[in-house]
Amino acid sequence: MNGGVSGPLFSFSNVTGGYGATTVVRSAGGEVSPGEACCILGRNGVGKTTLMRLLTGHLPLQSGSVRFDGQSLDGLPPDRRHALGLIYCPQERPVFDNLSVRENLTLMAPAIDEGRYAPFFAAFPILESRMTQSAGTLSGGERKILSFVRGVAEAGRLLLLDEPSEGVQQENVERMAGFLHEAKAAGRALLIVEQNLAFALDIADRVIVMDHGEVVLAGAAADMTEETLAAHMHV
């Protein structure tokens, strides 16, 4: 998958950036290999979403580097990153509200590929029953499911999910975890921002904890105790 060379598919180091002159994220680093999930944890407002937007090309880096498959992504616009195989599901406004559910799923493909979506429709029947409705009429959690399905069904090798479980019912969160385990088994790499610690620890191989825009703790998920992590996530 990785040109025969084992190692991280995606890595970033010294990533610093924010909005305009304001720096939100400082010197963040991390990596994720094929078949591996890395979860970014931390309280609200510590810069997790900003980091995701820096990594996906929606915000310019003030310094640092982001590499995918041995290639620098410096200056590449989001659509070119997508073409390389970076699939991003944002936290806020995760779907096109003015398009129907079907249009959201088929925007970049001519027709709905039943084979591609069948397992998702089986797990989340709400989507199939709302195909012709505009996505803006879905609840917040349903929009997150639609965004999740759009992203996971794509063929890209790296999935960047920003709080996929936010507002989603527990049973559907469990189904999401199932799909993410399958994605890992298929050799895809996952970078996930999460607030739901149980969900995060279910899928994570690695954990990055952020506070005040910096990485304060990073390592194998197996080495972290839930108490340590919980301490970082609550005030």
Binding site for another protein (CB under 8 A): 56-58, 77-79, 82-83, 87-88, 90, 93-99, 103, 107-108, 110, 136, 150
CB of 98 to another protein, least distance (A): 4
CB closer to another protein out of 55 and 215: 55
CB of 71 to another protein, least distance (A): 17
CB closer to another protein out of 45 and 77: 77
Is the Cα torsion angle 90, 88, 234, 177 positive or negative in sign? positive
Sheet containing 158-162, strands listed edge to edge, beginning at the edge strand earlier in sequence = 86-89, 158-162, 189-193, 37-41, 206-211, 214-220
Q: What is the DSSP letter of 44?
A: T
CB closer to another protein out of 149 and 207: 149
CB of 67 to another protein, least distance (A): 19
CB of 107 to another protein, least distance (A): 6
Q: What is the DSSP letter of 45?
A: T
CB closer to another protein out of 150 and 157: 150
CB of 173 to another protein, least distance (A): 22
CB closer to another protein out of 15 and 233: 15
Task: List all residues 6 or more positions away from 75 whose beta carbon is below 8 Å from its beta carbon.
Answer: none
| Long-range contacts formed by 78-81: CB under 8 A, 24+ apart | 81/56, 81/57
CA angle at 179 for the pair 176 and 182, rounded to the nearest 5°:
155
Supply 147's token pair. 């965004």
139-169 burial, b if ≥16 CB within 10 A, otherwise e? eebbbbbbbbbbbbbeebbbbbbbbbbbebe
CB of 206 to another protein, least distance (A): 23
CB closer to another protein out of 135 and 209: 135
Please provide the DSSP assignment of 184-223 as one string.
Answer: HHTT-EEEEE-S-HHHHHHH-SEEEEEETTEEEEEEEGGG
